[in-house]
Structure 1
Amino acid sequence: MRLALSLTCILGVSIMMACGESKGQESPSSTNETASPASQAEPISIFGTVQQPLEGTPITLTQFENNAQVATFDLALDANGHFAHSVSLDKPTVFQLNVQNVQRILLVLHDEDIEITVDGQNPGAPWSTEGSSDTDYLEAIFALNSEKQRAEGQLNEEFMTARNAGDQQTMIDIQNRAMALQANLSTSMVELMKERGVSLAALQGVQFVDERANIDFLTTFSQEMAAALPNDPMTQAWVERIQIIKATSVGGLAPDLKYTTPTGESLALSELRGNYVLIDFWASWCKPCRAENPNVVAAYEAYKDQGFTVLGVSLDQDGNKWVRAIEDDRLVWNHISDLKGWRSDAAATYAVTSIPANYLVDPEGKIIATELRGAALHRKLQEVFSEDKG
């Protein structure tokens, strides 16, 4: 889903990314009908056609619960490339259809039959599904993201050219254009969610939404999701995340952070009260973070004598690489980390799942802005310190 040179480093939150050990297996010679535990629902049919199938290569249907595989079923093809399977589901459920290791199709199914048509030899060939409204929703989400990725691919090429030439200004301009692409995707995704409403498929779409900019909508939407899917662990986890984001949005008090500095001392965010503080989540291994660092350095140099400072919060695991990046990028402000990578307690406290990420805190500890990068950081600081002088 992500380009290798994506301009944002993202922790995967896809509903199909984490797969555990399969707990069930069915062969083509078995009943070809399954039921969820304690399910009283009428069975639905999952059927379709594989065009140009590869002889002797299996087709599998894997069922997921809470980001883990719970069952995998082998599907048999007849002489015409047709397959069929029945399953009883008492709630919306995620499946993945693996067509001979050539195509992998994500499905969200519940109480509607679905027909699937897919090419068995060409990994880039389009597939089609019909009958499942939740899967249609999912495909609409993927289509929006694919449109953004095509544009992002061109930007990545331009970014590499600028980086090789050492053209920092062009790199910043490209980052701003990339952020505009993401903002447009976020807006389109919110409109899609408003149109389609609550669904397990929506959990795939929310990862593309600017959560803080749309926190009021997402708060309401998460409450509707919780009511519609009260026993779904993924929904529960997302609802809890939205609650954390709301608590750390503009207007709220910034939760305190107290971790270790590069010199082994302990430092708390609260010790910096009285200053405007940019809490900057980053890591030495994050290329977009490193590309943004010159912009943060410029902002720091421009406003450090007016009561502005930065607190770097690293998602590194290797202390030596963390310190080396601080020195190489000339980040002369305070830094803290628990060196837990994506398991960072600080990141969890602020619901950070992508970096760079930042929060601007006023002298009283109130969050006054978030996600300030590129020119937006300078504009906000100019606004803040112009008001203070006035």
Structure 2
Amino acid sequence: MLIAAGLLSACGSENKEVESGNTIHLRGKIEAENPKGSVVLLQIQPEGNLRDTLKIAADGSFDYSLKDFDPGFYRLMVYDQLPVVLAINQNDLEINVNAEGSTVTGSPEVELQQKINELMSGVSDAVARLQMDYAEAANSGDEDRMKKVDAEYTAMQTSLNDSLKQIIIASPANLTTLQILRDVITYEQDPQFVEDQLTRLQKEMPGLKILDLFEQKLEDIKKLAMGAVAPDISLQDTEGQTVKLSDLRGKVVLLDFWASWCGPCRKESPHLVQTYKDFESKGFELYGVSLDRNAEAWKKALEEDQLPGKQVIGVVNNEAEVAKTYSITAIPTSFLLDKEGKIIAKNLRGDELAEKLAEVLN
């Protein structure tokens, strides 16, 4: 959450409809000792391609005309320093970079970001304190303290998000608003707020490709949101028999994405084995999807870990389409499905999974 907010620290744009053939200027100065390399402008979305190389004068100043661009987020790569993130729409921007950091002026986003920075000023220290408390509790095995720290963090996040929402509502619609909705206040946290603000952005900032991309991303997120019916899966088990996820309706199912080479996945195996023993008779089933490219390594891991339930391999013809369907970016990742196939929890581990199953099945 803090990293996402930090990425906004150098944004700038204005909420105007962009016409074809649009041009703005990026002006400013870069103060650097013994500069090496180039200063380049990179579009973050949608393609992420190199936009152009800026010509920097001997005194470090520059005046660059950006023509026929797609409004959205860009990264100014400045020699070997940290990149400057820019939200570019319809306004000329003044960008100054030195050893202490960077500043951007010239757009409504800057004012909005200042409000966010003020809000975030005390959060970083508080999060660091909670992280230390949690680590100490984990090292000592104090589960009660761990749960208390979790509750404190959740309360802090809720309070911060509520404050961010009020700032967004009170501010003009702009690209910084979009980034907060995308990276901080997520759809799963508050779907109605995100939907309402997207409608507002589309009304007040028409014609922006990045809004269409965000809407497409939301559609993908909705497919995996809490309460949604999990997309069906039809893959083969170790015997080459097709096993469909939908065939398990009527049972509470843990859909678990893992691989033989994934250390954290294998570490979780004993918990899954015990949980299966404890809850199978009560209507629990395990549907494990391996993302192994080596089928023999997958089968060997199944034998070594004695993993129960329905186990299938998700890589077919060297492609893992199921991972794309479920937006898997890291493993282990899991989804707990109710008897109707609806998602009721995500990424439960160890005792958390057992506690949730006891709640659902008892």
TM-score, with normalisation over the residues of structure 1? 0.68
Instruction: Provide Cα deviations, 1:3-52, integer angstroms capped at 9, x if missing partner.
Output: 9xxxxxxxxxx99xxxxxxxxxxxxxxxxxxxx9932x4x5432223233
SS at match of 1:377: helix
Instruction: Provide Cα deviations, 1:340-388, integer angstroms capped at 9, x if missing partner.
Output: 69963323434444544332223333333344345432222111122xx
Instruction: Provide Cα deviations, 1:73-106, integer angstroms capped at 9, x if missing partner.
Output: 2221333x33332335676332221211333212
Distance 1:208 1:321 in 2: 38
1:284-299 equivalent positions in 2, closer than 5 A = 284-299=260-275
Q: Cα distance, 1:332 vs. partner?
A: 1.9
Say whether residues 1:86 and 2:65 are aligned partners: yes
Q: 1:195 aligns with which of 158, 167, 177?
A: 167
User: How many equivalent residue pairs?
Assistant: 342
Distance 1:82 1:50 in 2: 6
Amino acid at match of 1:100: Y
* 1:130 match: 105
* 1:72 match: 52
Amino acid at match of 1:299: T
1:28-47 equivalent positions in 2, closer than 5 A = 38-39=20-21, 41=22, 43-47=23-27
Amino acid at match of 1:76: I
Instruction: Provide Cα deviations, 1:128-167, integer angstroms capped at 9, x if missing partner.
Output: 32333446767959x9699499849967x969x97xxxx9
Q: 2:283 aligns with which of 299, 303, 307?
A: 307
Q: 2:39 aligns with which of 55, 59, 67?
A: 59
Q: 1:270 to 1:58 in 2, by over 3 A?
A: closer
Q: Cα distance, 1:188 vs. partner?
A: 3.7
Distance 1:83 1:315 in 2: 49
Distance 2:350 2:130 in 1: 20
Q: Could you tell me whether the CA contact under 8 Å between 1:315 and 1:342 is conserved in 2?
A: no
Q: Could you tell me whether the CA contact under 8 Å between 1:118 and 1:128 is conserved in 2?
A: yes
* 1:335 match: 311
Q: Could you tell me whether the CA contact under 8 Å between 1:259 and 1:337 is conserved in 2?
A: yes
Q: 1:108 to 1:190 in 2, by over 3 A?
A: farther
Instruction: Provide Cα deviations, 1:175-234, integer angstroms capped at 9, x if missing partner.
Output: 997898689658745753552365444554424555434333333334444555665454
Q: Could you tell me whether the CA contact under 8 Å between 1:114 and 1:131 is conserved in 2?
A: yes
Q: Cα distance, 1:276 vs. partner?
A: 1.2
Amino acid at match of 1:77: A
SS at match of 1:317: coil
SS at match of 2:83: strand
Amino acid at match of 1:68: G
Distance 1:337 1:232 in 2: 40
Q: Cα distance, 1:107 vs. partner?
A: 0.9
Q: Extract unaligned runs of 5+ from structure 2.
A: 9-17
Q: Cα distance, 1:69 vs. partner?
A: 1.6
Q: 1:135 to 1:285 in 2, by over 3 A?
A: farther
* 1:249 match: 225
Distance 2:207 2:300 in 1: 46
Say whether residues 1:116 and 2:95 are aligned partners: yes
SS at match of 2:57: coil
* 2:242 match: 266
Q: Cα distance, 1:278 vs. partner?
A: 1.2
Q: 1:56 to 1:311 in 2, by over 3 A?
A: closer
Q: 1:366 aligns with which of 325, 342, 345?
A: 342
* 1:19 match: none
Q: 1:93 to 1:383 in 2, by over 3 A?
A: closer
Once the two structures are overlaid, the 10-residue window that deviates more, 254-263 or 363-372, is 363-372
* 2:14 match: none
Instruction: Provide Cα deviations, 1:286-321, integer angstroms capped at 9, x if missing partner.
Output: 454445444434432321221111111233433344
* 1:279 match: 255
Q: Could you tell me whether the CA contact under 8 Å between 1:186 and 1:209 is conserved in 2?
A: no
Distance 2:222 2:356 in 1: 21
* 1:21 match: none
Q: Cα distance, 1:339 vs. partner?
A: 1.4
Q: Could you tell me whether the CA contact under 8 Å between 1:273 and 1:365 is conserved in 2?
A: yes
Distance 2:242 2:148 in 1: 35
Amino acid at match of 1:54: N
Distance 2:356 2:76 in 1: 48
Q: Cα distance, 1:258 vs. partner?
A: 0.7
TM-score, with normalisation over the residues of structure 2? 0.72
* 2:15 match: none
Q: Could you tell me whether the CA contact under 8 Å between 1:185 and 1:209 is conserved in 2?
A: no
Identity score, percent: 26
Q: 1:195 to 1:317 in 2, by over 3 A?
A: farther
Q: 1:193 to 1:85 in 2, by over 3 A?
A: farther
Once the two structures are overlaid, the 10-residue window that deviates more, 330-339 or 340-349, is 340-349
